[in-house]
Amino acid sequence: LKPTLESTAEDFTSLMATNLESAYHISQLAHPLLKASGYGSIVFISSVSGIVSGTASIYGATKGAMNQLARNLACEWASDGIR
């Protein structure tokens, strides 16, 4: 993981795709199956970097965004029995 001033736009895009976009899209794909079953849980594997500030700003930002995505999906999909 690179410091901010050494990171490129490609580094940013790659980490966002790997750590956030993949979680978002797999959740979208899982929703109909979980809803049809009447209940379910979506579990993301994040990092302490998403909670505690450190030196890997892009990585930490993607993990923080993943944590917030999990919270928002839990609220949005609660009526479908998905947490």
User: Which residue, among 66, 68, 64, 70, has the nearest Cα to 83 in the 3D structure?
Assistant: 70
Domain-wise residue ranges, the chain: 4-80
Q: Which residues are catalytic?
A: 59
Angle at 40 between CA 43 and CA 64, to 5 degrees: 25
Per residue in 4-55, pLDDT (tens digit) is 999 999 999 999 999 999 999 999 999 999 999 999 999 999 999 999 998 8
pLDDT band at 1 (very low <50, low <70, confident <90, very high): confident
Residue 15 to residue 31: CA distance in whole angstroms: 24
Look up the pTM and report it. 0.90
